[in-house]
Amino acid sequence: MKSGFVTIVGRPNVGKSTLLNRLAGQKIAIVTNKPQTTRTAITGILNRDDAQIIFTDTPGIHKPKNKLGEKMAETIDDASSGVDVILYLIDGTDKGIGTANEYILKKVIDYKTKTILVITKVDLVQKENLLELIKMYSERHNFEAIIPISAKEDDGVDVLVDKVVELLPEGPLYYDREEFTNQTERQIIEETIREKALKVLDDEIPHGIAVEVMSMKKRKGKKLYDIEATIYCERKSHKGIIIGKDGEKLKVIGTRAREDIEEMMQCSINLQLWVKVKEGWRDNSSKLNQVFKG
């Protein structure tokens, strides 16, 4: 039996959460086309007859611009220390290494942990570009392996898992086989609402929102939950945008989130959403602690 801990790192939007969901076989981490979607370390567990691998998805590595960004950076370093293997993801559509990846490459080398370079989104990539990237990166560090994948099309992911298992030590089962994540139901609900908000709002309010479930109650004798949640934003003007004309935007966010939550919980949901302003919460320690529980 092989077992161990594997952390997924890389720049924002490279496909870390998409890969985590594919590895865990279910949706645990939210995915959007916007950078800096993931804010905390999210664990997904893969069980095989011969192995148990605990994968941790992390926020995209970037230069912190506020206190939230600093917390996210700390999360990445914490999640990357003392693990057995690091998966360093780069985007297959990148043309060169670039400044962001120069910074990450240095960090990854500093971690001094066995690292697999994973080239993502190969469904979008010309072979020549792939070979170019492999050449550039292999000249910079002695990776345990370089593996191209498409998490979207489930291409190369099994090769990646085999390589990870090969690198893991003999070990015990760390978690019961039916466990698949460190995320609570409440956290998954909050993240689902945030995902829908990011998608529905598009670029209007990029990153300044947070979601908190205020209450969650089961109706007696029914397969129905009443859930109340608050969407926090940074400015009064943002509140108007989130709610939309005649409440239209908030309604769409609520409907889409409800559908996903119902599927996850296998029961009916009555979801009530509220929008509140917490001015500048991402850069104020006490407000950050109130809103962001990561």
Return the bridge partners of 276, or none. 232
Q: What are phi and psi of 86, to 5 degrees?
A: -115, 135
Whole-angstrom distance, CA of residue 44 vs CA of residue 58: 11
Least distance in Å: CB of 170 to Mg ion?
31
In the structure encoding, which two tokens stand for residue 241, read together?
Answer: 């945008």
In the structure encoding, which two tokens stand for residue 291, read together?
Answer: 């809103």
Binding mask 109-128 for ligand GTP (x = CB under 6 A): -----------xx-xx----
Is 37 among the residues that bind ligand GTP (CB under 6 A)?
A: yes
Q: Are strands 224-233 and 210-218 parallel, antiparallel or unpaired?
A: antiparallel
- Closer Cβ to ligand GTP, 41 or 168, answer by number: 41
DSSP per-residue string spanning 105-118: HHHHHHHTSEEEEE
Binding mask 140-159 for ligand GTP (x = CB under 6 A): ----------xxx-------
Using CB under 5 A as the binding criterion, the count of chain residues that bind Mg ion stands at: 4
Half-sphere exposure of 79 (CA within 13 A, CB side): 27
Least distance in Å: CB of 272 to ligand GTP?
27
Q: Are strands 51-57 and 114-120 parallel, antiparallel or unpaired?
A: unpaired
Q: In this chain, which stretch among 35-43, 137-145, 189-197, 283-291 interacts with ligand GTP, using CB under 6 A?
A: 35-43
- Closer Cβ to ligand GTP, 18 or 52, answer by number: 18
Least distance in Å: CB of 29 to Mg ion?
6
Residue 151 binding result from Mg ion, ligand GTP, none, given CB thresholds of 5 to 8 Å by partner type = ligand GTP
Is 38 among the residues that bind Mg ion (CB under 5 A)?
A: yes
- Closer Cβ to Mg ion, 32 or 129, answer by number: 32
Nearest to 120 by CA among 163, 140, 100, 90: 90
- Which stretches of the chain bind Mg ion, using CB under 5 A? 16-17, 37-38
